[in-house]
Structure 1
Amino acid sequence: MPETNPDYAIARIDLPDSCTFGWQVRLQRRGIKYAKFFADGNFGSTQNSLQAARDWRDALLDKLENDDRARICQRSTRNSSGVVGVSKVTVCAANGISYQFWQATWSPAPGKRRCVKFSIKRYGDTQAFEMAVKARIEAVGN
């Protein structure tokens, strides 16, 4: 990250044949790609364009980090259970029979996702929901 590498996500682009000289910032978060080129000529020098690239990258990382926190901490309008990370899921099998269950999901580490499902048919709607909520709380540690 920027704290350990000042040029994280920044690459130098020198293409003399097309008179292109500058710094390229490229990041990807949640499947969305972000990129911007900072030409030396637009900023007066190599150092100025590098600083502009770093500033843009840092502002973007701050924005993405704040958006991620908001997404994780705030209840989504799509959440009908009232509990973050707990949802009611219906699956239709190939034979046409549908199964319903309550599912608890969480992220134990960056890039990892875990879930556990509780059958409504087996436990009943209320108990399956309560089991999913308990599993989510135990997994997240809250």
Structure 2
Amino acid sequence: MAINPTLSTSDKTALVKAEVYRWYNLFFPWSRGVSSQSEGAIKPLYDALSSEFRVVLTDGQIMSRADYWERLWGLYGKRAGSPESHITNLSITPLPGDFFLAVFDLVKDGITKKKVDSALMRVDQNSPSGISWIYVHESEHERALA
């Protein structure tokens, strides 16, 4: 995706926000087994990961881009029947050099545990969405139900 170098910070922040939702909108049907089990259904997620991508999972496991691809592929249908997650409390902080820190919660109705993700992302015209994911840290926390 060709990114206009004159985009404002707010326009770039909007790209980051759209990328967070795009990622989840592809991951949800994949992990529930309702998308086609084809590389094309999940590869857009992988293509948005930078070559130096790392993720720390909720269990503390650290994965590289290649390892995470194997995990993504293996998650097809593994969460069938699991309630839909909702992205809440999304905050995006611009950093120098077209980097952004996105922090958000993933919550499920009626479930007391929530996942908190923080992601370092950057504007990247080589990424399909114009944004690449560099580092993600996932954690799990109890939350109060209203």
Q: Smaller-chain TM-score range?
A: under 0.3
> What is the TM-score of this pair, normalised by structure 2?
0.25
Looking at secondary structure, tell me which structure has more helix per residue.
Answer: 1
Which structure: larger Rg?
1
Task: Kindly indicate which of the two structures has a greater share of residues assigned to strand.
Answer: 2
TM-score normalized by the length of structure 1: 0.26
